[in-house]
Amino acid sequence: MQAPASIPERAAAVALKQIGTAYRYGGSSPAGFDCSGLVQYSYLEAGKTVPRTTRQLWNTAGTVPYDDLQVGDLVFFRFDGKMSHVGIYVGDEKFVHAPSTGRRVTVDSLDAGYYRSALMRAGRLH
């Protein structure tokens, strides 16, 4: 298998290596991640500094049409009536994320009803 070439591809690969890491509110290291902490850590390990919070990531990432998603793009979700969650797209309609308290970093499908209905926008960090 060829090594990921682009920073977004490398960030996605870093995030996938964190599968199983515990969710921790405010966490941004392998000791525990929240959703935006996982994004920040993964991109930093891939060689790019990105904002820390979901809102800052939303404001920084350029909008991408869903049919143009590329590995490493961000996917943003609305829960409880507000944009409050982010994950990293890993291809094949899947994304890696740190879901919530009591859960672990995992991969889920954008096609799953829960996430499909909450999906707000995709974004690409430049």
The whole domain housing 71 covers 7-124
Residues 15, 46: Cα–Cα separation, whole Å: 10
Examine the residue annotation and report whether 103 is marked as an active-site residue of this protein: no
Examine the residue annotation and report whether 113 is marked as an active-site residue of this protein: no
Please list the pLDDT of the chain residue by residue as tens digits (126 residues): 566 689 999 999 999 999 999 999 999 999 999 999 999 999 999 999 999 999 999 999 999 999 999 999 999 999 989 999 999 999 999 999 999 999 999 999 999 999 999 999 999 998
2 found inside a domain: no
23 found inside a domain: yes
75 found inside a domain: yes
CATH of the domain at 90: 3.90.1720.10
When divided into structural domains, the chain yields a total of 1
112 found inside a domain: yes
Examine the residue annotation and report whether 97 is marked as an active-site residue of this protein: yes
H or E element in which residue 57 lies: helix 54-60
61 found inside a domain: yes
Per the residue annotation, which of 12, 35, 57, 122 is the catalytic one? 35
Question: Taking Cα atoms as reference points, which of 86, 109, 107 lies closest to residue 38?
Answer: 86
1 found inside a domain: no
78 found inside a domain: yes
